[in-house]
Structure 1
């Protein structure tokens, strides 16, 4: 397992969610199947639009905090830099 941070979106430029996990594939599967109760389930935030792998969990948590503290526009710019069409990146992980 490798720690990762990720951004989910409800749709292009829609509601965003930033998270951290030690198992990206499993965690995104949980979000997509509404097994992660809370914000993502309530607002239909299921599309993986950005992720970063990290060497250690402390690095991933630090990056998650940095992203959460940043503006919405910075998150959108980060997504669009690598995924301009807001494709769901989850299938590429499998």
Structure 2
């Protein structure tokens, strides 16, 4: 039985967004890991933004850096990093 835990910014995660995230993560367990949706648990942990730090800086003033990996068996692993001087928000 897979247990997926996702930490998200903000204590006020709207119910429709939380449900969509849970459905998407469940779908990922089914397609990427071959697990049963009925036996997959998704735990969403909303955390206030002021408890996040990047490079030792509080989240709102942290350098814009984003890194992720694809876990799809059909997609190559991807990494992307934005330099701190980038005006774009993280993971936009």
Normalising by the residue count of structure 2, what TM-score does the alignment of the two structures yield?
A: 0.28
Larger Rg: 2
Higher relative contact order (CA 8 A, sep 6+): 1
Greater helix share, structure number? 1
Q: Normalising by the residue count of structure 1, what TM-score does the alignment of the two structures yield? A: 0.27
